[in-house]
């Protein structure tokens, strides 16, 4: 099986984009994307990640792929369907396809934009083992009435990178989270705390 494009490029990508826009506008909400388009059996990325790449990438975007996700010829598939340029260093990329393990490596530096043009930053496209609304991560900020919870499995490296956004705002990294066909987003405006730390607080005050 090969990497395939959307059956209906105009309307399928519009539908996928609205899900992306809605998850970015309301961080911590999880959307289920359509199972199509198809990917090779040995692909390391799910339907939501592939649909996001097909929706947002074209010949104007630079993409960096972490080596552990390149299985099944993803690089060639992406170049063929979108015309995106693959770059060698993550700091050059508009979109970086990563896992929490990639982010645990501190030598992986991404583009955070500048104070004058904070929009010229890398968007992380994160492939996760788990993605749901129950977990230790507490999100607050624009798009969130009160707070929302997010569970992402072994994602401490991801969340510590995103939590660091707060001290650099408006510079920062925005993350689109995917797990199979599930989609969520954490923009740089979101304030992240871990309830594990909060639970530890009473002990410390004793």
Partner 1 sequence: MNDYSDATTGYNFAYLDEQTKRMIRRGLLKAVAIPGYQVPFGGREMPMPYGWGTGGMQLTASVLGQDDVLKVIDQGADDTTNAVSIRAFFERVAGVTTTSATAEADVIQTRHRIPEQPLRQGQILVFQVPIPEPLRFIEPSEEETRLMHALEEYGVMHVKLYEDIARHGHIATTYAYPVKVDGRYVTDPSPIPKFDNPKLHMAEALMLFGAGREKRLYAIPPYTRVESLDFEDHPFEVQQWEEPCAICGARDTFLDEVITDDRGGRMFVCSDTDYCQSRREEVA
DSSP string, 51-100: HHHHHH-STT-EEEE-GGG-TTTHHHHHHHHH-PEE-SSGGG-SEEEE-H
- What is the residue whose two structure tokens read 């987003």? 185
CA distance linking residue 147 with residue 29, whole number of Å: 11
Q: Which stretch binds partner 1 (CB under 8 A): 36-44, 97-105, 131-139, 186-194?
A: 186-194
Based on CB atoms, which residue is closest to partner 1, 10 or 204? 10
Residues 135, 30: contact at Cβ < 8 Å? no
**CA–CA distances in Å: residue 196 to residues 28, 30, 133, 164, 202:** 18, 22, 16, 17, 11
Contacts of 158 (CB under 8 A, 6+ apart): 100, 103, 124, 126, 128, 152, 175
Question: Nearest approach, Cβ of 17 to partner 1 (angstroms)?
Answer: 5
The residue within the footprint of partner 1, chosen from 142, 196, 198, 199 (CB under 8 A), is 142
Based on CB atoms, which residue is closest to partner 1, 40 or 191? 191
**CA–CA distances in Å: residue 137 to residues 47, 76, 127, 172, 193:** 24, 35, 17, 19, 6
If one asks whether residue 141 binds partner 1 (CB under 8 A), the answer comes out as: yes
Q: Which stretch binds partner 1 (CB under 8 A): 37-45, 66-74, 111-119, 155-163?
A: 111-119
If one asks whether residue 189 binds partner 1 (CB under 8 A), the answer comes out as: yes
If one asks whether residue 166 binds partner 1 (CB under 8 A), the answer comes out as: no
Based on CB atoms, which residue is closest to partner 1, 24 or 47? 24
Q: Which stretch binds partner 1 (CB under 8 A): 10-18, 41-49, 66-74, 128-136?
A: 10-18
CA distance linking residue 155 with residue 159, whole number of Å: 6
If one asks whether residue 170 binds partner 1 (CB under 8 A), the answer comes out as: yes
If one asks whether residue 196 binds partner 1 (CB under 8 A), the answer comes out as: no
The residue within the footprint of partner 1, chosen from 4, 5, 22, 151 (CB under 8 A), is 22
CA distance linking residue 202 with residue 57, whole number of Å: 47
The residue within the footprint of partner 1, chosen from 41, 42, 88, 119 (CB under 8 A), is 119
List residues binding partner 1 (CB under 8 A).
9-11, 13-15, 17-18, 20-22, 24-26, 55-61, 94, 114-119, 121, 123, 141-145, 169-170, 174, 187-189
């Amino acid at each position: 099986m090969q990497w395939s494009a959307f059956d209906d490029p105009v309307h399928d990508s519009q539908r996928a984009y609205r899900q992306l826009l809605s998850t970015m506008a309301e961080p911590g909400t999880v959307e289920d994307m359509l199972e199509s388009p198809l990917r090779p059996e040995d692909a390391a990325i799910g339907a939501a990640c592939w649909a996001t790449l097909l929706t947002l990438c074209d010949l104007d975007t630079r993409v960096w792929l972490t080596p552990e996700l390149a299985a099944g010829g993803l690089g060639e598939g992406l170049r063929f369907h979108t015309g995106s340029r693959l770059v060698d260093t993550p700091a050059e990329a508009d979109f970086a396809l990563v896992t929490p393990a990639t982010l645990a490596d501190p030598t992986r530096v991404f583009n955070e934009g500048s104070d004058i043009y904070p929009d010229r930053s890398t968007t992380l496209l994160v492939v996760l083992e788990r993605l749901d609304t129950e977990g230790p991560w507490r999100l607050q900020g624009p798009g969130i009435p009160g707070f929302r919870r997010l569970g992402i499995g072994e994602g401490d490296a991801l969340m510590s990178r995103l939590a660091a956004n707060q001290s650099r705002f408006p510079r920062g990294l925005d993350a689109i989270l995917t797990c199979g066909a599930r989609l969520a987003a954490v923009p740089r405006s979101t304030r992240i705390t871990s309830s594990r730390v909060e639970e530890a607080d009473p002990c410390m005050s004793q």
